[in-house]
Amino acid sequence: MDGFSSAFIFKKYFCPLFDITDVEIIGLNPYDIQNGEFEFTDKDIVLDLPLPQQKIFFWCDHHLSAKPKDTLPENHYFKEVPSCAGLLIDILKEKGVKITEALQEFKKVIDIMDGAEYSKDDIKLVYYQQASYDNPTTLEKLHMISAMMHTRDQFVNWEFFRTLLEEELGETPIDSETWWDLRPRIFYKALLASYAEWREWVDEFIVFNDESKCVVQDNRVAESRQKGNTDRFYQYIKFDDASYGINMKVVDKDVARIGIGSNIFHKDRCKINIGRVCKEVADKFGDGAGGGHYYVGGCTINAEKCDDALAFILERMEN
């Protein structure tokens, strides 16, 4: 959702500043940049992604693994903050753009979502089914819009992403009236039901490694294929003593994906730079595609290296 929100903020507020009248929105993954899969030009704008090697017009990111080593050129921004969209709003303020109450409130909730700064009450509100959704909070509204772009069909997700940004834009990514005509609440309620089904499924095999204080969700040992959509914070609700969590999933015969996080309710327990560990794991057991923040990150590895990668990560957590 941070990538979508960043694209919204740029198109709505930065395009007029730079006299940009036409923008084509293209969705990329960090892998596409880190492995040179996309050819950039000096007119391109890259948001919430690593800095390409080619010269571009504008760049903004907040991921620790993307922190530049050299002085940045004009219109290039990096800062270790919870969200890229929030950073863009801060830059707007520096440029003299008036930041309305709605934008300030949006910055607050996108920082919570992308920076995993939820309280336990927040989690119970936006990840668990409620009796009523008639008067949603700003955080609930953000999750409702997000639900439209987090279905199990990537083509549907991308179509929503692209189409919504082509519509008339409201004051913030959750204030565009035409978007609510699509009834995102339906998608959100379905997603919450999916989370509930996933929690029942994962309870069959999720384990707590006491030595590393890590919850391990290794989908390879599941007796049935995945049900529902992943509730990424359930492990810390279930295992309050946990410091870390690992999610390992084999994508195909060649590639596996690993997500690593820290207990969002006890961030003081995190003693390793997870984004840096993810990049290290990607370099050691894959093709180098990986990174993230201090408290959370992800990477891709060779599928045959899953056991070695898991042992390596758990050892790093113990030390």
Query: What integer pLDDT is reported at residue 74 of this predicted model?
Result: 95
28 band by pLDDT with thresholds 50, 70 and 90? confident
What global pTM score does this model have? 0.85
Are the CB atoms for 261 and 295 separated by under 8 Å?
A: yes
Measured CA angle at 218 (ends 155, 302), to 5 deg: 70
Q: What type of residue is 205?
A: F
Q: pLDDT > 70: what percent of the chain?
A: 100
pLDDT tens digits for 149-160?
888 888 888 888
Neighbours of 153 (CB within 10 A): 8
More confident residue, 48 or 294: 48
- Nearest C-alpha neighbor of 314 from the set 202, 207, 209, 205: 209
The helix-helix angle for 306-318 and 274-285 (nearest 10°) equals: 150
Domains and CATH numbers, the chain: 2-180 (no CATH), 205-318 (3.10.310.40)
**Res. 319: pLDDT tops 80:** no
Buried b (16+ CB within 10 A) or exposed e, 41-71: eeebbbbbbbbbeeebbbbbbbbbbbeeeee
181-220 pLDDT per residue, tens: 889 999 999 999 999 999 999 999 999 999 999 999 999 9
128/184 Cα distance (integer angstroms): 16
